[in-house]
Chain A
Amino acid sequence: MSLLVSIFAAIAVLAGTFFFIAGTLGLLRFGDTLSRVHALTKADNLGLGLIVLGLLPLADSITDALKLVVIWALVLLGGTTAAQLVAGAVRREQDPPP
């Protein structure tokens, strides 16, 4: 049982790490700003989600598990809003409203 949990946690955490690295690659390699916003927001939120998923069965208490879920929800909320705000600002800079 505990071995299975450990294997599940390790796989999920490593998959999350992979998406973080993918996000960084996107930030460094993609050609224009809007693609970079898109790459970073999606990859990081998914990466953190996988890490939270992997850490859930390792949590000491229900409170800690709940906190993990709240953290992911907050990052999703903050990350998507931030992406919208930044993308809006980029668009206004590229073609300013009359």
Chain B
Amino acid sequence: MAEVLTGAAALIMLSALVGLARVLRGPTRADRLLAAQLLSTAGIGTLLLLAAAGRPALIDVALILALVGAFASVAFVMASRMIDRR
């Protein structure tokens, strides 16, 4: 079972790393952001699979990543929502 879980984790990680090509290719800023978003979700999946394969402490790392995963997108729109007061 552990072999299947680790294998699935490896596949998910590999696909997210291939997706990182979007960071370089763009063309828009949103596309670059999406690649990082994919890496974050894939990281959570990988951590959960590794946790089930025998390292239960990793669930907490996945929990934190899930909690703060949206912050990059929040930062992405921050500048456009600023009110410039002198």
The reply to whether A55 and B19 form a contact with Cβ atoms under 8 Å apart is: no
Main secondary structure of the interface of A (DSSP, over half): helix
The reply to whether A13 and B41 form a contact with Cβ atoms under 8 Å apart is: no
> Whole-angstrom distance from the CB of B64 to the nearest CB of chain A?
10
> Whole-angstrom distance from the CB of A20 to the nearest CB of chain B?
5
Which residue of B has the minimal Cβ distance to A83? B73
Once A and B bind, how many residue pairs between them come within 8 Å at the CB atom? 138
Hey, which bits of chain B sit against chain A, CB under 8 A?
A: 1, 4-5, 8, 11-12, 15-16, 18-19, 21-22, 28-31, 33-35, 37-38, 41-42, 44-45, 48-49, 52, 56, 59-60, 62-63, 66-67, 69-70, 72-74, 76-77, 80
Complex Cα gap A71–B63 (Å): 5
Knowing A60-B56, A67-B59, A90-B28, the reply to whether A24 touches B38 (Cβ < 8 A) is yes
- Which of chain A's residues have a CB closer than 8 A to the CB of B73? 81-82, 85-86
The reply to whether B69 and A79 form a contact with Cβ atoms under 8 Å apart is: yes
